[in-house]
Amino acid sequence: PGQTGPMFAAPAVDDPSLIPTLEEAERQLIARAMAVTKGHKGRTCQILGISRPTLERKLQKFGLAQGQGPQVHPYPVKDAS
């Protein structure tokens, strides 16, 4: 008796250019986890299943070092222009 569907599923995308790179998806996921935990790094590590040094390294890499990155939509929409 488990879950019947994925916990995190991306919407169907017909245009491959709308799919973020793995690096961008990782940045978005870290930013979302930090937002959910209100910047609590220990809880963020638990949610993401990573160590504190790994989180610190990724926060710096993605410019989220203060945990105050820009608001991130889970599936960015590319500008049609």
pTM: 0.64
pLDDT tens-digit map of 25-73:
999 999 999 999 999 999 999 999 999 999 999 999 999 976 444 444 5
Task: Please give the pLDDT value at position 4.
Answer: 56
Structure tokens at 40: 């609590």
> What is the spatial distance between Cα 21 and Cα 45, in angstroms, rounded to a whole number?
22
Q: Is 18 helix (H, G, I), strand (E, B) or coil?
A: helix
Phi-psi region of 12 (alpha: psi -120 to 50; beta: other; left: phi over 0): beta
Task: Please give the pLDDT value at position 6.
Answer: 56
CATH 3.30.300.30 fits 20-62, yes or no: no
Q: Which of the pair, 63 or 14, is modelled with greater confidence?
A: 63
Q: For the chain, which residues make up each domain, given as ranges?
A: 20-62
> What is the spatial distance between Cα 65 and Cα 28, in angstroms, rounded to a whole number?
14
pLDDT band at 21 (very low <50, low <70, confident <90, very high): very high
Task: Please give the pLDDT value at position 80.
Answer: 52
